[in-house]
Every structure is written in structure tokens, then in C-alpha cells.
Structure 1
């Protein structure tokens, strides 16, 4: 393993810093590619943004996606729960008139009752009852979620169990949660697109950016398993895993 210079170079390359929610270091170079979803989150949310007067973007990351939805409604707020992303989001979004709040408790959002007519949520946790509280009558909640079966092949290859915190999270449960609080789910869909890693460095970079996939991930701790995946990639050309995504639109 130590004599495998290609493996060592990929591991060293993966030590690049990750900021915001930007995977371009591996995605723009084609080292990580993902099969297309049967829907476009951006295309679904854009007409709602244009018709909104007060919107909230939950889990904005570094504000990369939200910043591309301009022109904005009159009032725009964003939340982010990952502390290192907060200053990045504020630097990008506040000059655009967006108020960014750091939020740690999904059950207690820092907003008034009936404050928003549109709430966006892309891959962020949420409380259905809290969404209902801050949403105006007739308001819309749109979320794309990462399901509990996401990329479990990574865990299998590293010999670690899937993170139990998320295994329960299913499309059917999310739909039922909103129906239980008398919100109408007008659209929902589920998909399992393939995500392909073309080198071990791209996988390590991904795992460093998504710490909840393998909690406590460290390169040295999983060096043998990573080398086995590297050998698999050298033999087959890639390492495939299956994402788990679902989307729903709920209206109050």
C-alpha cells in the first residue's frame, strides 16, 4: 500500500479544504458524477420564488443555491445549522438582502407565526409542526430530502454500519407527517440515482465533507478498506453507490 504511489497521491489530493456546500473540486473535474433525478428541484421552486413575497431557505449551506434564485422576493431569510458555513453564507447572501440565521434546534425556529408564504428546504432537517407554525395560510413548503438508504454501499465497503440516526427517514413517512397536520401534499416522488466515484481521492473528499455518512471518519482508521476500494476502482474503472432522494410539495 505504501508503495502504491497512485493511491498515496489520491489520498494526499483529498486533503483539499471543503467550504460551504461546494463539491466542484471533484464534480467539475468529472471525478464524481451522479445520475440525473427524474425531477429538477430548481425548476420546481423557481415559479414559487417569483410569486412569493416572503420566503425562507432552510439549510442554505454557503448560500450557493439560493444566490442563483435572484431576483428575490421583498423579504428573504435563510438558516444554516453547520457553524463553519454560517460566515460563508452571510458573506455571500447578506449583500443580496438576505438575513442569515444560525439555527441548531429545528423545533424552535427564530421566526414569527405565519411569517412566510414560501419555505424551501434542500437536504435539511425540519419539524413539520414548526413549518406549519411559520407558514402563512395558503403558503407552500418544498423540500428535497436525502433518504435513510443513501449511499449505504460506502458503509458496506468500509465495514461500518449505516448511521442509525437516519435509517428511519423514508418518503412515505415524510408525506404522512404533513397529512397528519392537515397540510396537502400536492406532489411527491422518490428516486435512487447512482453516484459514481472514479478515484479514491474523490471518495475521501466526499466523506470528509459529509461527516454523517461515516461518523468519526479518518483516513488512517480506514486505510486498508480505502485501499481495497482503490483496487476495485483500478480494476473496474469506478466505484458505484446508490443515492436515496425524495421530494415533496406541501401546502397549508
Structure 2
């Protein structure tokens, strides 16, 4: 194993810097790609922004997506709960007029009642009651979520434990939860696209960015499994894992 220089070189990719929610190091070099969804989160947002006067982006990451959705409504805010992302988001978004708030709890948001007529949320947890509280009566909530079976193939390939805490998190559960908390669901879809890694280094870089997938992940603890995936990629050309995505558009009932 130690004589495989390409494998040893790929192991160093986990040391590459990562900030915000920017995967260009492996996406723009075609080392990782994803199959397409039947919907476009961004394309669904744009016409909603044009009709909006006050907007909130929940879980903005480093502000990468939000910064590309201009022009913004008069009032626009963003939240982020992952501390390392907050300064990245503020540096990118505040010059564009976006107020960025660091938050700790989903059910305690620093906003007044009935404040936003558009609330968007990509891959961020939320409290239905709190979203309802800060929405205007004619407001829209649009969220794309990561389902509970997301990337389980990675855990299985590494022989790592699977976190069952979110195994229930799927479209049917989320839709029912919204309806039980004062929402009317307008659109709902769920799909399982494939994410493809073309080298083991790209997978390691990605695992660094999503530390919740394999908590306390260290390459040295999974060398045998990583090398097995590396050999499979050398033979087959890629390593595929299944994602889990669903989208919900809702208004107050």
C-alpha cells in the first residue's frame, strides 16, 4: 500500500484549505460531479425574489449562492450557524447590503414577527414554528433539504457507523410536519441523485467539508478502506454514492 505513490499523494488532499461552501477545488477540476435534479432551487427562487420586499436566506454558508441571486429586495438578511462560515459570509454579503446573523438555535431567530415575505433555506435545519412566526401572512417558504439517507454509501464503504438520528428525515415526514404547524404545501418533490468521485483525494476533500458524515474522521483510521476505494476507482474510473434531496414550497395556511 505504501508503495502506491498516487494513493499517498491523494491522501494529502484532506490538508487543502476549505472555506465557506466552495467546492471549486474538486468541481472545477472535474474530480467530482453530481447527476441532475428535476428541479432547480435557484430558478425557483429568482421569480420569488422579484416579487419580494423582505427576504431571509437561512443557512447561507459562505454566501456563495445568495450573492449570485441579485438584485435583492429592499430588506434582506441571512443566517449562518457554522461559526467558521460567518466571517466568510459577512465579507461576501455585507457589501451587497445583506445583514448576516450568526445563530445557535433553530427555534430562536433574532427577527420580529411577520418580518419576511420570502424565506429560503438550502440544506439548513429549521423550526417550522419559528419560520411561521417570522413570515408575513402572504409569505413563501422554499427549502431544499438533505434527506436522512444522504451519502450512507460512504459510511458503508468505510465500514463507519451510520448516524440514525436523521433516518426519519424524508419528504413525507417534513411535509407532514409543515402541515401540522400551520403551513399549506404548494410543491413537493424528492429524488436520489448520484454524486461521483473520480479519485480518492476528491472524496477525502469532501469528507473534510462535511465532518458530520463520519464524525472524528481521520484518514489513518480508515487507510485499508480508503485504499480499497482507491483500487476500485483505478479499475472502474469512479466511485458513486447516492444523495438524498427533497424540496418543499409552502405558505401559511
- What TM-score, normalized to structure 2? 0.98
For the 8 Å contact 1:120–1:143, the answer to whether it is kept is yes
1:209 is aligned to: 209
Root-mean-square deviation (Å): 0.7
Deviation string, structure 1 residues 3-29 (Cα, Å, up to 9, x no partner): 110101111133211100000100111
Structure 2 CA distance for aligned equivalents of residues 90 and 187 of structure 1: 32
For the 8 Å contact 1:163–1:215, the answer to whether it is kept is no
2:132 is aligned to: 132
SS at match of 1:179: helix
Structure 2 CA distance for aligned equivalents of residues 147 and 162 of structure 1: 13
For the 8 Å contact 2:132–2:182, the answer to whether it is kept is no
For the 8 Å contact 1:61–1:86, the answer to whether it is kept is yes
Deviation string, structure 1 residues 113-157 (Cα, Å, up to 9, x no partner): 101000000000000010000001010000000000101110000
Structure 2 CA distance for aligned equivalents of residues 166 and 15 of structure 1: 29
Number of aligned positions between the proteins: 252
Instruction: Give 1:162 shift.
Output: 1.6
For the 8 Å contact 1:122–1:143, the answer to whether it is kept is yes
1:49 is aligned to: 49
Deviation string, structure 1 residues 69-92 (Cα, Å, up to 9, x no partner): 111000000000100000000000
Report which stretch shifted further, 116-125 or 153-162: 153-162
- What TM-score, normalized to structure 1? 0.99
Report which stretch shifted further, 174-183 or 50-59: 174-183
Instruction: Give 1:164 shift.
Output: 2.1
Deviation string, structure 1 residues 50-98 (Cα, Å, up to 9, x no partner): 1100000000000000000111000000000100000000000001110
Contiguous gaps of at least 5 residues in structure 1: none
Contiguous gaps of at least 5 residues in structure 2: none
1:230 is aligned to: 230
For the 8 Å contact 2:13–2:204, the answer to whether it is kept is no
Structure 1 CA distance for aligned equivalents of residues 159 and 4 of structure 2: 22
Instruction: Give 1:158 shift.
Output: 0.6
For the 8 Å contact 1:54–1:116, the answer to whether it is kept is yes
